[in-house]
Amino acid sequence: MKTHTTQRGSAHAIVIILLVLALSGTLGFVFYQNFIGKKDEAPKPAQTAKVETTKVERIAFNSTIYAFDYPKDWTVEATPVPGSTNGATVTKVYNPEKTVQATLNVSSGGIGGSCDVNDGLKISYYI
């Protein structure tokens, strides 16, 4: 007569229960750190006064005022367009060395044509 002794138990159930408890403990810890626990905030640096590095040029045209910012140390020359009745101007802004210049034409109609987006320049048009 052969007798087989097999152990019957709930080892699988105990392992599954332990894994579920470990997972829920980990999720609870992560939730606490992210949403409930207070974080240590680094001290904020003292706010410094904002130094203005630009100026504003205003141009009146056709009962509307246009404004643009330019660097504080640059020079502005605004010249009225001869024969204009609504305030058309040509405004030039250039750096102290006069190596960089921007020209803003404000008028009705065209002043020498429209911008060509295919001319290869870095700034070709502004909408």
Q: How far is CA 12 from the centre of its chain?
A: 56
Q: Are 27 and 72 in a shared domain?
A: no
* Mean pLDDT for the chain overall: 78
CA–CA gap between residue 59 and residue 91 (Å, rounded): 9
Asked if residue 2 is part of any domain, the answer here is no
Q: 95 Cβ partners below 8 Å, 6+ apart?
A: 71, 73, 74, 101
Residue 102 domain-assigned (yes or no) = yes
Instruction: Give the residue among 97, 102, 96, 108 at the shortest CA–CA distance from 69.
Output: 102
Percent of the chain with pLDDT over 70: 70
pLDDT of residue 60: 79
Q: How many CB atoms lie within 10 A of CB 71?
A: 13
Q: Report whether 48 contacts 42 (CB < 8 A).
A: no
Number of domains in the chain: 2
What's this model's pTM, rounded to 2 decimal places?
0.44
* Same-domain status, 31 and 64: no
pLDDT of 124 over the 50 cut: no
Render pLDDT for 86-107 as a digit per residue (tens, 0 to 9).
778 888 988 899 888 888 887 7
